[in-house]
Amino acid sequence: MPLFDIHISPDEPVYVISVVSKLVDLPLWTLRQLDKAGIVRPKRIGKKSRLYSLKDIKKLEYVHYLMEEKRVNIHGIKIILKAEIEE
């Protein structure tokens, strides 16, 4: 059986919301709220399907840390992320 490497760009949206929920340990409703708040904007396929990239997942890992470890709410996360971009 031949082995091969698959190289996927970190920007390529390939992960469905249910997989992302498990990877970053955030409930589906939280991911939807983060999308609604503009914190992480997955690519939309049709009206319902969201596809996340590896970059989105990395950002969500940080968001999860802020929510769970630092007890920051969604509004606070938006402020933190905006401040970090402006630095």
- Residues β-bridged to residue 52: 15
Q: Is 64 left (phi over 0), alpha (psi -120 to 50) or beta?
A: alpha
Tokens found for residue 45: 């396929």
Checking if the pLDDT of 67 tops 80, the result is yes
Mean of the pLDDT values across residues 1-26?
A: 91
- The domains of the chain, with CATH numbers, are 15-86 (1.10.1660.10)
The pLDDT of residue 1: 61
Nearest alpha carbon to residue 35 among 2, 74, 73: 74
pLDDT-based confidence at residue 63 (cuts at 50, 70, 90): very high
Amino acid at 22: K
The pLDDT of residue 5: 83
